[in-house]
Structure 1
Amino acid sequence: MAVMTTLAVRNKGLRPAPMVERNYAVHRHGWIMIISGLLESLFYLFSLGVGVGALVKQIELPGGRMVDYAVFVAPAMLANAAMNAAVAETTFNVFGKLKWMKLYDGVLATPMRPRDVAAGEITWALIRGAIYSAAFLVVMAALGLTDTWWAVLAFPGSVLIGLTFSGIGMLATTYFRNWPDFDWMMAFIFVMFLFSGSFAPIENYPSWLQWAVYASPLYHGIELLRAFSLGDLSPMLLVHAAYLAVVGAVCMGFAARRLSKLLYK
């Protein structure tokens, strides 16, 4: 009877709640870590958006519209905050639990499955990213960097970015062998941050680089949030959102399989 009950539980849908509850219990007194992650993107906003913006003043968008440089940069910093929160949770933290703490070995002694673990860690990453995004949007509004109510849609847009990079981070972690592997990942994240239209329209890039940028999930995230922030809505928003959703779903699917292979080997 006990075996049948366990099998019945295992055949149910995803059960991310136990992992989320565990992570909350561990981090509920670690608010300093959450604040420090948010401050990084805010520092970028103040130093580049506000500081450099005092020199650049305004920037011309592809359609000919002129906007303040800080207004142009702020959505990119919001996208960066969502990305960093997702990547930090699904890479460094998951790798430590997987390789060194062996936490998931104990978790699998319960009715939970590897895909429940993956769903729980990704859900927790989304919660952390949502906190970053909400706080960042409040700062943007306080600084007058949004002038339309469409900017509230930047919050679900940032959650979508977090979902995408949670899948990417989780999948990458399943291939890492040791801590030095993270150096390559962080270098890739930093290059993507610099060359995804964060600080200038990609129309200013060489044509060969523009094609590489189009493949960047961060580029599509930045364009999505920038359009909401400026109230510049168009059918291309559906393309950006669909690209993020597809990349995130594919990566999460492969990450769940990889995690099962690692934990059941």
Structure 2
Amino acid sequence: MNAWRLVSRNALVYRREWVVFLTGFAEPVFYLFSIGVGVGALIGGFDMGGQFVPYANFVAPAMLATSAMNGAIMDATFNIFFRLKHAKLYDAVLATPLTTGDIAVAETTWALARGGIYSAGFLLIMLVMGYATSWWALLALPACLLIGYTFAGLGMWATTYMKNWQDFEYVTLLLMPMVLFSGTFFPLEAFAGPVRWLIEATPLYRGVVLCRELTTGAVGLASLVSVVYLAALGTLGMLGARRRLAQLLLT
């Protein structure tokens, strides 16, 4: 598959810059230890479907989903913008048999792979610290790959509309509220009405809920809804990015 050639190129570039991977991975870990463990010692926990969940166990899967998001969004926005607008990498790529569709698939694959690496490391921390209490947690890594796919597709699509580096302020403006309010540090029942509906529609919330259901064993029909929703958003983003790349590079 032609797309794998571009994925291999990205892997070679990062082979000597592996320290860069630590930037997005460290943030959720800090949140886990400062809020999940530190504040959790004061709060105790929450009741979820008749099951008491300690606060650290409540926050940990949310940070797992955030790890997947961080890894994917880093490459799907900042790095793709650099390759597209400054390095002109894709102009060179199109001189080969690769198409704009191959570029979209390759960059989405690489971005979700980065999210998967972050997630695998964070999931290992959860397992060592005993924050995954169900065998369903074995599916948490595939769930994180799905989260990475969603943010990779949407992030790349959004990046094709950006004109300069200042536009990335909007990325931060969107990501920070999602990290803080997507059921990450407290149950969504704290909100009501339109605010709650808006949060429930965000991809990070669906990812947080899915990871939490898997690590606590509270899997149900709602888990399938989250899977379908995340897959649909990721596919929509990748197809939109493919169309935009064709407009930018072939016209």
Say whether residues 1:151 and 2:137 are aligned partners. Answer: yes
Question: Who is 1:75 aligned against?
Answer: 61
Write the distance in 1 (CA, Å) between the matches of 2:133 and 2:178. Answer: 28
Rg larger in 1 or in 2? 1
Question: Which amino acid in 2 is paired with 1:109?
Answer: A
For residue 264 of structure 1, report the CA deviation from its aligned partner: 1.0
Write the distance in 1 (CA, Å) between the matches of 2:2 and 2:204. Answer: 29
Deviations 1:206-253 (A, max 9, x none): 322111112111111111110000011111111010000111111111
Question: Which amino acid in 1 is paired with 2:90?
Answer: Y
Question: Which amino acid in 1 is paired with 2:110?
Answer: W
Question: Which amino acid in 2 is paired with 1:106?
Answer: A
Aligned partner of residue 67 in structure 1, secondary structure: strand
Aligned partner of residue 195 in structure 2, secondary structure: helix
For residue 65 of structure 1, report the CA deviation from its aligned partner: 2.1
Question: Which amino acid in 1 is paired with 2:190?
Answer: N
Aligned partner of residue 180 in structure 1, secondary structure: helix
Question: Which amino acid in 2 is paired with 1:60?
Answer: D
Write the distance in 1 (CA, Å) between the matches of 2:110 and 2:10. Answer: 7
Say whether residues 1:231 and 2:250 are aligned partners. Answer: no
For residue 176 of structure 1, report the CA deviation from its aligned partner: 0.4
Question: Which amino acid in 2 is paired with 1:82?
Answer: A
Deviations 1:29-71 (A, max 9, x none): 111111222111111111111111111111222x232110000
Q: TM-score, normalised by structure 1?
A: 0.92
Question: Which amino acid in 2 is paired with 1:232?
Answer: A
Write the distance in 2 (CA, Å) between the matches of 1:27 and 1:96. Answer: 15
Question: Who is 2:44 aligned against?
Answer: 57
Write the distance in 1 (CA, Å) between the matches of 2:160 and 2:25. Answer: 26
Deviations 1:93-150 (A, max 9, x none): 0000100111111111111111111111111112111111111110001111112211
Question: Who is 2:17 aligned against?
Answer: 30
Structure-to-structure mapping, 1:233-252, within 5 angstroms:
233-252=219-238
Aligned partner of residue 165 in structure 2, secondary structure: coil
Question: Who is 1:215 aligned against?
Answer: 201
Say whether residues 1:178 and 2:178 are aligned partners. Answer: no
Question: Which amino acid in 2 is paired with 1:67?
Answer: V
Say whether residues 1:102 and 2:102 are aligned partners. Answer: no
1:261 equivalent among 235, 247, 251: 247
Contact 1:15 1:119 in 2 (8 A): no
Gap runs ≥5 in structure 2: none
Say whether residues 1:40 and 2:40 are aligned partners. Answer: no
Deviations 1:133-169 (A, max 9, x none): 1111100011111122111111000000000000110
Say whether residues 1:131 and 2:123 are aligned partners. Answer: no
Contact 2:72 2:113 in 1 (8 A): no
Write the distance in 2 (CA, Å) between the matches of 1:185 and 1:25. Answer: 27
Gap runs ≥5 in structure 1: 1-13
Question: Which amino acid in 2 is paired with 1:42?
Answer: V
Question: Who is 2:103 aligned against?
Answer: 117
Write the distance in 2 (CA, Å) between the matches of 1:114 and 1:240. Answer: 29
Moved runs in structure 1, 4+ residues, more than 6 A? none
Corresponding residue pairs, total: 251
